Amino acid sequence: MEFEPVIGLEIHVELKTKSKMFSAAPVAYGKEPNTLCAPLDMAFPGTLPTVNKEGVVYAIRVSNALHMSIDNELHFDRKNYFYSDLPKGFQITQQRRPIGSEGYLEIEIDGKVKRIGIERLHIEEDTCKQLHFPAFTLLNYNRAGVPLVEIVSKPELRSGEEAMKYVEKIRSIVVFSGVSDGKMEEGSLRVDTNVSIRPKGSDVFGTKVEVKNINSINYVQKAIDFEIARQAKIIEEGGKVVQETRRFDDKKNETVPMRLKTDAVDYKYYPETNITPIKLSDEFIENAIKSCPELAESKKKRYIEEHGLNDYDASLLVSEKEVSDYYDEATKHSKAYKLLANWINVDVASYLNKNIMSISDFPMSPEKLAGLVKLVESNEVNSNQAREIFAKMLEEGVDAKKAKEILGISSQISDLSFIQDAVNKVLEENPQAIIDYKEGKGRALGFLVGQIMKKTQGKINPKITSDLLLEELKKR
């Protein structure tokens, strides 16, 4: 039987606001446990939530990037349940009126664009981080109250690959819009998936299995593909898929059961009365959107249309926000876009790869790289020399001119009259070679270039030289 997978994703994104969603405690990752908490984050009686404007701005940016309609009133609700990582015994969230609703995202599958519907985006707060030991559990309240947006897709994804591309796109949006680190390994972007399968052509949903704890983009695809295959096998063998929550085991590369999902928990949602509804003015919403840094898609378009880059180079540049930022900065100092892109995508990338480093730690400033590109652009150095200079710049931390000087590379001569003189002299001295060339002996050209280089000690620009030589040969 042929099956059609039905996949929906719930993505939690931690916002990198300065302070928490409802308290004044700072937001930071990797700080000493329990040092970033206000009384509210530990649910001290009598504390009250105040809405973080920055968090709202960030939620609007993401909603807008996902083509969602944005509510012009902020409403919050309480989700009530007891859990050790939940300080207040309820989570403040947006159940009735999410800030963003009914949007979509476009992904590319086999060269075709597919639109994935997004049901809602709502603001909520994170819980404590738990560290489990055999005999006890430690709680870290630093994470309690960190702003989150939850993005809920419609069940319109049909494969692990689509899901992975969807997550990549969401990650790109939240990172480029400056609202999140989007790091799955650090938990600032968390993916929960719902997977079910049904006979192709059927419009009834199969039994849904939730897969949690997927902590890298690659695992999204692996987990889902595994889950699809697992469910298909069960059905083909005449079994029934059990409704449950599973997690992805990255050692085994498979999903393993976590808990049975019986009747869904009743969260007893009701309105948060400590926050009266907040009217969002058109101006506020517009400003939130206007202040959003340029997203990957728009950057890519600009690189192709305005900078003349090809799709491949432009895509590479926007694969990481920091890389595109580096490129943007470099273009302030050099307009040799193709050369810049090439250097960043090839030489810089290979250096980073070799040193297992991200571009934010790359020691050469965009301005210095642009300096090197200028030397190449003006034909002062050839590409082999430029690579030597690049290595020297990294070694010594100097700019391109200084590196060139240290290496003792003298500039190529591009002075046309000087080169013309050399060409003329060599042609006069070698009439036989001219004849050979005219008779179609290919070797003659190489001989003449060699003679010119010899005469000038190889200091002249080879490209200009061969251009001038060919022109001169035509005349004779």
Residue 90 as a binder of other proteins (CB under 8 A): the answer is yes
Give per-residue burial for 278-304: e unless 16+ CB within 10 Å, then b.
eebeeebbeebbeebebbbeebbebbe
Determine the distance from the C-alpha atom of residue 10 to the mean position of all C-alpha atoms in its chain, rounded to a whole number: 19
Give the residue with the Cβ less far from other proteins, 84 or 291. Answer: 84
| Minimum distance from residue 209 beta carbon to other proteins (Å) | 23
Looking at beta carbons only, is 40 or 348 nearer to other proteins?
Answer: 40
Pick one of 276, 287, 350, 358: the residue that binds other proteins (CB under 8 A).
Answer: 276
The residue assigned the tokens 């938990």 is 187
Note the helical H segments in 73-159: none
What does the alpha-carbon distance between residue 445 and residue 451 come to, in Å, rounded to a whole number? Answer: 10
Handedness of CA 349, 354, 359, 364 (dihedral sign): negative
76 interacts with other proteins by CB under 8 A:
no
Whole-number minimum distance, CB 27 to other proteins, in Å? 19
Q: Is 386 exposed, middle or buried (0-12, 13-18, 19+ CB in 10 A)?
A: buried
Report 287-316 residues binding other proteins (CB under 8 A). none
Residue 455-474 contact track with other proteins, rule CB under 8 A, x = bound: --------------------
Confirm or reject binding of residue 205 to other proteins (CB under 8 A). no
Question: What is the Cα gyration radius of the chain?
Answer: 30
User: For other proteins, which is the closer residue by CB, 134 or 440?
Assistant: 134
Comparison of 92 and 288: residue with beta carbon closer to other proteins: 92
Helix (H, G, I), strand (E, B) or coil at 255: strand
Amino acid letter at 354? K
C-alpha torsion sign, points 469, 472, 474, 476: negative
Instruction: Give the range of 244-252, 274-282, 330-338, 393-401 binding other proteins by CB under 8 A.
Output: 274-282
Query: Is 100 an interacting residue with respect to other proteins (CB under 8 A)?
Result: no
Helix, strand, coil content of the chain in percent (nearest 5): 40, 20, 40
Nearer to other proteins, 276 or 355 (CB): 276
Which of 1, 2, 82, 282 binds other proteins (CB under 8 A)? It is 82
Helices (H), 66-209: 160-176
Return the number of the residue (50 or 319) whose C-beta is nearest other proteins: 50
Residue 5 within binding range of other proteins, rule CB under 8 A? no
Residue from 274, 291, 355, 378 in contact with other proteins (CB under 8 A): 274
Least separation in angstroms between CB 53 and other proteins: 11
Between residues 279 and 290, which has the closer beta carbon with respect to other proteins?
Answer: 279
**Residues of span 16-45 touching other proteins by CB under 8 A:** 39, 42-45
Q: Which stretch binds other proteins (CB under 8 A): 77-85, 107-115, 248-256, 425-433?
A: 77-85
Strand order in the sheet with 77-80: 90-93, 77-80, 270-271
Distance between CA atoms of 328 and 366, rounded to whole angstroms?
9
Q: What's the rounded Cα separation, in Å, for the pair 203 and 200?
A: 9
Nearer Cβ to other proteins, position 87 or 147? Answer: 87
Candidates 69, 242, 270, 416: give the one binding other proteins (CB under 8 A). 270
Of 419, 413, 332, 425, nearest to 371 by C-alpha is: 332
- Looking at the Cβ atoms of 80 and 245, the one nearer to other proteins is 80
Question: CB of 310: closest distance to other proteins in angstroms?
Answer: 52
Does residue 17 contact residue 249 with C-beta atoms inside 8 Å? no
Position 57 contacts other proteins (CB under 8 A): no
Of 34, 80, 315, 365, the one binding other proteins by CB under 8 A: 80
Burial (0-12, 13-18, 19+ Cβ within 10 Å), 474: exposed
Q: Which residue's structure tokens are 């819980």?
A: 127
> Taking phi first (over 0 means left), then psi (-120 to 50 degrees means alpha), and beta for anything else, what does residue 306 get?
alpha
Q: Rounded CA gap, 38 and 237, in Å? A: 55
Q: Which of 5, 8, 49, 55 binds other proteins (CB under 8 A)?
A: 49
139 versus 224: smaller Cβ distance to other proteins: 139
User: What's the chain's length in residues?
Assistant: 476
190 forms part of the interface with other proteins (CB under 8 A): no
Binding status of residue 281 toward other proteins by CB under 8 A:
no
Q: Which stretch binds other proteins (CB under 8 A): 212-220, 264-272, 305-313, 377-385?
A: 264-272
Count residues binding other proteins (CB under 8 A): 29
Least spacing, CB of residue 17 vs other proteins, in Å: 17
The distance of Cα 128 from the centroid of its chain, to the nearest Å, equals: 27
Crossing angle of the two packed helices 416-429 and 443-455, in degrees rounded to 10: 120
User: Binding to other proteins (CB under 8 A): which residues in 123-142?
Assistant: 137, 139
Query: Should residue 357 be labelled a site residue for other proteins when binding is judged by CB under 8 A?
Result: no
Residues that bind other proteins (CB under 8 A): 39, 42-51, 78, 80, 82-84, 87-90, 137, 139, 266, 268, 270, 273-276
